[in-house]
Structure 1
Amino acid sequence: MANAATEELIENFSLFDDWEERYAYLIDLGRKLDPLPEEDRTPESKVEGCMSQVWLVSAVEPGAPPVVRYRADSDSQIVRGLIAVLMTAYSGETADRIVATDINDIFTRIGLDKHLSPNRRNGFYAMVQRISDVAADALKRAS
């Protein structure tokens, strides 16, 4: 259940014939991310399980269902690109939609499932878990 921006992102990735071009596009997406301010780079915002350093912060907007906005950053260009994919899929969505989003489908449709090292894949899923946990907690608090 991908949002319109994610569908567009998937379509953009499909325009590239080989992984090198997709990889370059992923890095370019990461370069466009706003950096996370230093004060948000705390031990609490650090995502464990990532090979690179990753910080992820969230803000829950009340509502029925609540909307969750995420911001994240990394010291790795490729991970910043992965963060850009996750922000497109999740940030600004309702908590119920976040919980229902199948990141595996998006991951496969982009072609990342075949081209990331196991360590990067583990870090990617650690970020997804944190995103999902925040959304699930927001839903629980809203009910």
Structure 2
Amino acid sequence: MALVHGFPSRRSVLALLGFLAACAGVGQQAGEMGVRTGVVEQIVDVPLPTSHHAGVGAVVGGLAGLSVGSLIGAGSGRDVAMVLAAVGGAVAGNEVEKTHAQPVPGQQIVVRTGSGILISVTQPGVAGLRKGQVVYVEGHGDGARVVAR
């Protein structure tokens, strides 16, 4: 890249922008989703982690402990009681949240595409999918999902 007064020249910048635009144009456009077809080879039921917001129990428990601790003692003893009650409440709230978090039923679906490639997608349970069924695999990576054709 040629430098003019310490900065890249206009021609270098335009060439770089043209290259980047060409690279961005290859493949999918924004908002498009890749869809492949295939046949279900295997379906395994698996538990998926719940989608609840982790930490809510600790926050609620900590706030409850803080309010209870503020009722105890006076002066610096009150401050110590508030801190200890907040920490204890946060720990207790976190434990309660963990015991009530139930896994979501899901499926690991193995699909053989038309090109012979095996794809494994883990998603929340989809009623009606069965081995040997022709399906669509929408998207890629963690966002992929299998739907009936």
Q: TM-score range by the shorter chain?
A: under 0.3
Instruction: Return the structure number with greater strand share.
Output: 2
Larger Rg: 2
